[in-house]
């Protein structure tokens, strides 16, 4: 697709979605001209290079009618802090960071959703650990990034085993810190996600004590700042960007070796780690509908009941479905 064609296509997409914001969400700005769109710099947050490498491998970063400025974050919570503060416009996070951000009254909205293989959301233990199931975690120290998807999976796993987070000792660590603590046996278990799950299994012979089956909804979200969504130029750029991400996710699912190589090259991941994470099944686009919102509400309520979050979060107020029709077209066209 030429740059001009891409711009014209974008304008049509923006016009299609104008005025379709969810109740409680600010009105959608009108589409901008091709000339104004060319002036936009979209600031995108990424984790472990996953989205950038996927778009690159799929050939979908070519001829974007706006500039993209990438920033890398260790996990979802700091990414959303940056989005709320206006340092970035949007980025991909797991199912739990938007809940913590909403509780903190962050200026963000989830704008698209994907599903992934919940078996790769894992609570890991050393291969020689005496722990055999989630109930054995009582009184043990578990490393986890606070407010991350792993935190959500850990909360639900403990609840399913008749425990709460008060029954374990939580060591709040970012992934690189968690890996170091895990390999140095400074913690008893580590709640984490891919590609770190794959890295720990391959390089540290970690064993899965419990995974996300029955404990995670597997959702991940592209989450945008409300300031970016209110800006006409950035709103149009985000619409185009999310369409590209949707197409790239579908491409990556059927081109796993190519994507794994691109991911490893982009981030320095070992190829066998990237390949293991990719082969397990990564994000596939789905619809940001009432089912997704209700599932997230249940998770938010679980955190409130656990007293991890103060008060109650109304997740529906943080779901902006303005891009839904365009993303559905992208899914059906691929």
Task: Read off the pLDDT of each residue in 177-199 and give the average, rounded to a whole number.
Answer: 97
Do 192 and 252 fall into the same domain? Answer: no
Domain end position, chosen among 165, 182, 211 = 211
Euclidean distance between CA atoms 219 and 93, whole angstroms: 9
Predicted structure pTM score: 0.90
Do 112 and 141 fall into the same domain? Answer: no
* Cα 268-273-277 angle, rounded to 5 deg: 115
Question: What's the pLDDT score for residue 26?
Answer: 65
Do 112 and 176 fall into the same domain? Answer: no
Do 156 and 187 fall into the same domain? Answer: yes
Do 159 and 138 fall into the same domain? Answer: yes
Do 89 and 229 fall into the same domain? Answer: yes
Do 47 and 145 fall into the same domain? Answer: no
Question: What's the pLDDT score for residue 242?
Answer: 98
Do 206 and 235 fall into the same domain? Answer: no
Question: What's the pLDDT score for residue 311?
Answer: 86
Do 96 and 128 fall into the same domain? Answer: no
Question: What's the pLDDT score for residue 112?
Answer: 98
What is the DSSP secondary structure assignment for residue 319, as one 8-state letter? B
Residue 108 in 3-state DSSP?
A: strand
What is the DSSP secondary structure assignment for residue 95, as one 8-state letter? S
- Which residue is listed with tokens 């500039």? 67
Do 101 and 224 fall into the same domain? Answer: yes
Nearest to 144 by CA among 191, 193, 176: 191
Task: Read off the pLDDT of each residue in 46-54 and give the average, rounded to a whole number.
Answer: 93
Nearest to 144 by CA among 190, 184, 185: 190
* Residue 57: Cβ-neighbour burial (10 angstroms; 0-12, 13-18, 19+): buried
Torsion of CA 44, 177, 213, 280, to 10 degrees: 60
Domains: count for the chain: 2
Domain end position, chosen among 196, 211, 226 = 211
Give the number of other CB atoms < 10 A from CB of residue 50. Answer: 25
Do 122 and 109 fall into the same domain? Answer: no
Question: What's the pLDDT score for residue 282?
Answer: 81
pLDDT tens by residue, 279-294: 998 899 999 999 999 9
Nearest to 67 by CA among 313, 240, 247: 240
Range of the domain at 190: 118-211
Question: What's the pLDDT score for residue 250?
Answer: 97
pLDDT tens by residue, 84-110: 999 999 999 999 999 999 999 999 999
Domain end position, chosen among 162, 177, 211 = 211
Lowest mean pLDDT across 16-30, 192-206, 239-253: 16-30
* Cα 283-289-237 angle, rounded to 5 deg: 65
User: What is the CATH number for 200?
Assistant: 3.40.190.10
> Would you say 276 and 202 are in contact if contact means Cβ atoms under 8 Å apart?
yes
User: DSSP states of 46-94 as a string?
Assistant: EETTHHHHHHHHTT-STT-SSEEEEEEESSHHHHHHHHHHTS-SEEEEE
Euclidean distance between CA atoms 230 and 166, whole angstroms: 41
Do 112 and 12 fall into the same domain? Answer: yes
**In angstroms, how far is CA 206 from the centroid of its own chain?**
24
């Amino acid at each position: 697709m030429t740059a001009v064609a891409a711009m014209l296509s974008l304008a049509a997409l923006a016009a299609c979605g104008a005025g379709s914001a969810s109740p409680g969400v600010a009105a959608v700005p009108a589409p901008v001209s091709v000339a104004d769109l060319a002036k936009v710099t979209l600031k995108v947050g990424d984790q472990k290079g996953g989205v950038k490498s996927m778009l690159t491998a799929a050939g979908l970063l070519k001829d974007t009618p706006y500039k993209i400025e990438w920033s890398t974050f260790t996990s979802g919570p700091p990414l959303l802090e940056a989005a709320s503060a206006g340092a970035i416009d949007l980025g991909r996070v797991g199912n739990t960071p938007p809940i913590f951000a909403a509780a903190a009254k962050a200026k963000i909205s989830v704008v698209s959703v994907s599903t992934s293989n919940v078996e790769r959301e894992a609570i890991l233990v050393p291969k020689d650990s005496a722990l055999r199931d989630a109930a054995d975690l009582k009184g043990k120290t578990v490393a986890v990034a606070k407010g991350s998807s792993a935190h959500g999976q850990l909360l639900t796993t403990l609840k399913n085993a008749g425990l709460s987070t008060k029954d374990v000792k939580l060591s709040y660590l970012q992934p690189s810190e968690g890996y170091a603590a895990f390999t140095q046996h400074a913690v008893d278990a580590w709640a984490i996600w891919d590609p770190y799950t794959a890295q720990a299994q391959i390089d540290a012979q970690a064993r899965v004590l419990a995974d996300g089956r029955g404990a995670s909804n597997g959702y991940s979200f592209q989450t945008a700042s409300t300031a970016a969504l209110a800006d006409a130029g950035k709103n149009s750029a985000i619409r185009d960007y999310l369409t590209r991400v949707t197409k790239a996710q579908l491409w990556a699912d059927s081109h796993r070796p190519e994507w794994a190589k691109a991911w490893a090259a982009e981030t320095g991941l070992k190829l066998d780690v990237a390949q293991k994470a990719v082969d397990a099944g990564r994000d596939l686009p789905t619809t940001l509908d009432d089912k997704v919102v209700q599932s997230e509400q249940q998770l938010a309520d679980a955190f409130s009941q656990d007293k991890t979050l103060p008060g109650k979060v109304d997740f529906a107020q943080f779901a902006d479905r303005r891009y839904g029709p365009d993303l559905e077209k992208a899914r059906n066209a691929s």
